[in-house]
Amino acid sequence: MKKFILVLNLGSTTTKVALFRDLNCHIVKTYSHDKELISQGINEQKTVRYGTIIKFLHECEVSPEEISIVAARGGLLHPVEGGTYLINDDMLNDLSSGKYGDHASNLSGILAAEFAGNYNIEAVITDPVVVDELCMQAQYTGIKNVRRTSIFHALNQKAVARKYALSVDKNYEDLNLIVIHMGGGITVGAHHLGRVIDVNNGLNGDGPMSPTRAGSLPVNGLLKYIEEHELSHQDINKLISKQGGLLSHLNTEDVRDIVSDINDGDTYSAEVLEAMAFQIGKEIGAKAAVLHGEIDQIIFTGGVSYSDYVMNLIKPYISFLAPVTIYPGELEMEALAYGAYTINKDRTLLKTYRAEETHV
C-alpha cells in the first residue's frame, strides 16, 4: 500500500531524508558525508547519495513500494514562479548539466527522479531558490543590460508565510508580509498577496551581509579590492558568497560563538554584529516602502533567529513598522511534503517546467 511521501533535501555536506503520512512527519534523518565525497562533482556523488536514501528506508523498515510520491528540494534552474513542479526531462537536463549552476541541491531532483522512475511514481519540487516573482520595478538596475535576479530562500519563506496566515485564519494570498530568512545567507522578501514582488539576491552580493555572504558592496571599493588582490571571477564569487560577512570579519560564521565573545568583552565582534543588524533593519525598511507601508506582519525565520541577542539588535529598527513573529529554524521538509500533498489532492496545481529556448 502506497502511504508515504518521501522527502529529499540534499545539501553540500548532508543528505536529509524524511517520510510523511499526508502532512504528518513520520520520521526524518540527516546523514553527514565525508570530505572525500563532497569534494567530488555532483554527478560523481550520485551513487553514494542514492545509497543513503535506500539505507534510510531500510533503517525505517519501509519498502520503496510504500512510497506514493517523492518531494525534492529544487536546485538551480531558470527563473520560475512559485509552486510545485513535476520533475520532467527538461528539468533533469538543466539540473544534470549545471546549466544554471552546480550545487548539491541539484542532486535532490536528480535522485528523486531516479527513485521515482525505478518505482513508477512521480517526483516533484516545490518553490526552488530561483522562484522569481519580482515586479517590473524591482528587476531594473542602473545599467541597461544588467537585470536583478531573484535567488532566495523561497521554500522556507513561503512556508512560514503560510504558517502565519493559517495561525490568524487568513489566506497567504490575502496578506502583505515581510519575511526574513537568516541563515548562512540572509534574504528579505516583500510578500504581496501571495507573490514575492521584491527580495534581495542572498547569494550573489545583494542586501545585508550575513554569516558567510558579503551582501551589497560599494562598487568602486570592490573594483579596487579585485585589482589589488588580482582576483579571478571564480575568486570573486567565492569571496562574495562563501567567505564574506561575519566569516570575513571574525573568522567564524557561528553567531553563538560570536555572542559568547561579545559577552567576554570583545568590542569588535559587537560592532560587526550590530552592523549586520543595522543592514537587516535597512533592508526591511526598503521592503516596507515597496509594500507602501501596508504590512500585516514581519516574520523572522532561519537559524540565526534563534539568537535573542541578534533579534534584540534588529527590533529597534523595525518595531514601528508592524508586529513581529519569529519562527526559528526552517520548515523546508514540511514545505516539500506540503507541495506534494497538495498536488495529490488537486492535480490542477501541478506546474510544468519548460527549458528556456536558446536563441542563436
DSSP sequence for 296-331: SEEEEEEGGGG-HHHHHHHHHHHTTTS-EEEEEB--
CA atoms within a 13 Å half-sphere pointing along the CA-CB vector of 42: 22
Mention every residue, 6+ apart, whose C-beta is less than 8 A from residue 308.
Answer: none
Q: What percent of the chain has pLDDT over 70?
A: 99
Domains in the chain (CATH in brackets) are: 4-131+333-352 (3.30.420.40), 154-329 (3.30.420.40)
Write the pLDDT tens digit of every residue in 289-306: 999 999 999 999 999 999
- Alpha-carbon 226 to chain mean position: 28
Predicted confidence (pLDDT) at residue 357 exceeds the cutoff of 70: no
Backbone angles phi, psi at 46, to 5 degrees: -55, -45
pLDDT value, residue 157? 97
Rounded to the nearest 10 degrees, how much is the dihedral formed by the CA atoms of 99, 102, 105, 107? 80
Write the pLDDT tens digit of every residue in 173-203: 999 999 999 999 999 999 999 999 999 998 8
Q: What percent of the chain has pLDDT over 90?
A: 88
Closest by Cα among 76, 74, 65 to 116: 65
pLDDT value, residue 214? 96
Angle of helix 154-167 relative to helix 332-345, nearest 10 degrees, comes to: 70
Cα gap 202→211, rounded to integer Å: 11
Cα gap 340→123, rounded to integer Å: 8
> Which one-letter amino acid corresponds to residue 246?
L
Predicted confidence (pLDDT) at residue 360 exceeds the cutoff of 50: no
Write the pLDDT tens digit of every residue in 217-230: 999 999 999 999 99
Write the pLDDT tens digit of every residue in 320-336: 999 999 999 999 999 99
Write the pLDDT tens digit of every residue in 101-156: 888 889 999 999 999 999 999 999 999 999 999 999 999 999 999 999 899 999 99
DSSP SS3 for 80:
strand
String of DSSP letters for 89-136: HHHHHHHHHTTT---THHHHHHHHHHHHHHTT-EEEEES-TTB----H
**pTM (two decimals):** 0.91
pLDDT value, residue 103? 80
Handedness of CA 168, 9, 127, 292 (dihedral sign): positive
What grid cell was written down for 155?
521554500
What grid cell was written down for 149?
535576479
Share the mean pLDDT of the chain: 94
Write the pLDDT tens digit of every residue in 23-76: 999 999 999 888 788 778 778 889 999 999 999 999 999 999 999 999 999 999
